[in-house]
Amino acid sequence: MTDEPAIDPASMYEQMGGHAAFVRLVDVFYAGVAGDDVLRPMYPEEDLGPAKERLTGFLEQYWGGPTAYSRERGHPRLRMRHMPFHVDPEARDRWLLHMRAGVDALALPPLLEATLWDYLERAAHAMVNTFEPRGIGPQSGGRDDAAAAASLPLTIRRAPDAP
């Protein structure tokens, strides 16, 4: 017996096809990511399996399914979790390309497809954290803020009338 609340049969999660649909979406997405020279380096694990599980759990919870994601990982904090990575418009567009393939694989009714795609587009745009070329800005593998700040030359100048 689990503490998981019952899933509402009218939830978007159920209307989209439940667990099997979200697994399919994520499997197709990561099949594209696996061969993507911009996105693949953002995943430190050699095996994408753990990333698949995290994304599946997040999406299921967001759309009204099981709440295991928050129980296991806490609040999603998507911007914070993606900040260590160089997420520029190119990375966003590649993410959307692979996610589009996953959405198309579901063959959802038009209203469900549009609702899901609208969320995914907004989420992808919200994750962009730099407009700098690759090699500048947040990096794959991540650096904590203190290490990043310590690597920058800093000169503090006081205003002429400051004590």
pLDDT one-digit tens code per residue, 141-154: 443 444 444 334 44
- The pLDDT, as a whole number, for residue 6 is 62
Distance CA 87, CA 126 (A): 10
pLDDT one-digit tens code per residue, 63-118: 999 998 777 766 656 655 556 677 899 999 999 999 999 999 999 999 999 999 99
pLDDT band, very low/low/confident/very high, at 36 (cuts 50, 70, 90): very high
Tokens, residue 25: 């979406």
Q: Where do the domains of the chain lie?
A: 12-150
Which position has the higher pLDDT, 75 or 30?
A: 30
C-alpha distances (whole Å) from 154 to each of 87, 133, 142, 148, 151 are 25, 22, 21, 12, 9
Q: What is the mean pLDDT of the chain?
A: 80
75 annotated as a binding-site residue: no
Percent of the chain at pLDDT above 70? Answer: 69
CB 26 within 8 A of CB 79: no
Return the CATH number of 12-150, one of 1.10.490.10, 3.30.70.100, 1.10.3720.10, 3.40.250.10: 1.10.490.10
| HSE, side-chain direction, 13 A CA sphere, residue 39 | 22
